[in-house]
Amino acid sequence: MKAALLSAPKSRLEVVDDIVQDAPGPGQVQVRVSHCGLCHSDLSLIDGAFPAPLPIVLGHEAAGVVEAIGDLVDSLAVGDPVVLTPCPPCGTCYFCVRGDTSVCEKAIGLATGTFADGSTGLRRGGETVYRGLNVGAFAQSVLTTATGAVKIDADVPLDVACVIGCAVQTGVGAVLHTAGVEEGATVLVMGLGGIGLSVVQGARLAGAARIFASDPVPERRAVAKNLGATDLIDPAKDDVVALVREATAVGVDYAFEAAGFASLVTTGFFATRNGGTTVCVGAAAIEEKIEIAPAALFTASGKKLLGCVLGSVNSLLEIPRMIALWKAGHIDLEALITRKRPLEEINEALDDLRAGRGIRTVLSMG
Q: Order of strands across the sheet with 56-57?
A: 14-16, 3-6, 56-57, 130-131
Write out pLDDT tens, residues 71-106. Answer: 999 999 999 999 999 999 999 999 999 999 999 999
Q: What single DSSP character describes residue 93?
A: S
Mean predicted confidence (pLDDT) in 43-72: 96
Mean predicted confidence (pLDDT) in 29-56: 95
Q: What end-to-end distance do the CA atoms of the chain give, in Å?
A: 12
Q: Per-residue pLDDT for 43 more than 70?
A: yes
Q: Per-residue pLDDT for 292 more than 90?
A: no
CA distances from 69 to 22, 35, 61, 92, 201 (A): 12, 20, 21, 21, 35
Mean predicted confidence (pLDDT) in 292-296: 79
The per-residue pLDDT for 295 is 76
Q: Per-residue pLDDT for 297 more than 80?
A: no
Q: Which part of the chain has CATH 3.40.50.720?
A: 170-309
CATH label, 3-165+333-364, candidates 3.90.180.10, 3.40.50.300, 3.40.220.10, 3.30.70.3040: 3.90.180.10
Q: Please name the helix (run of DSSP H) or strand (run of DSSP E) that holds residue 242, with its range, or none.
A: helix 240-248
Architecture in CATH for domain 170-309? 3-Layer(aba) Sandwich (3.40)
Quickly state the pLDDT bin for 285 (edges 50, 70, 90): confident
Mean predicted confidence (pLDDT) in 157-173: 98
What is the spatial distance between Cα 74 and Cα 23, in angstroms, rounded to a whole number? Answer: 17
Mean predicted confidence (pLDDT) in 248-259: 98
Q: Which amino acid is at 196?
A: G
Task: Respond yes or no on whether the N-terminal peptide bond of residue 55 is cis (omega within 30° of 0).
Answer: yes
What is the spatial distance between Cα 214 and Cα 359, in angstroms, rounded to a whole number? Answer: 14
Q: Which part of the chain has CATH 3.90.180.10?
A: 3-165+333-364
* Most confident residue range from 208-222, 274-288, 296-310: 208-222
Write out pLDDT tens, residues 213-236. Answer: 999 999 999 999 999 999 999 999
pTM of the entire predicted model = 0.97
Mean predicted confidence (pLDDT) in 26-35: 98
The per-residue pLDDT for 291 is 86
Q: Per-residue pLDDT for 265 more than 70?
A: yes
The per-residue pLDDT for 298 is 65
The residue among 218 and 285 whose pLDDT is bigger is 218
Helix (H, G, I), strand (E, B) or coil at 249: coil
Q: Per-residue pLDDT for 326 more than 70?
A: yes
What is the spatial distance between Cα 354 and Cα 364, in angstroms, rounded to a whole number? Answer: 20
Measured over the CA atoms of residue 97, residue 88, residue 124 and residue 129, the dihedral's sign is negative
Whether the Cβ atoms of residue 265 and residue 257 lie closer than 8 Å to each other:
yes
The per-residue pLDDT for 294 is 79
Question: For the chain, what percent of residues have pLDDT higher than 70?
Answer: 99
What is the chain's mean pLDDT, rounded? 96
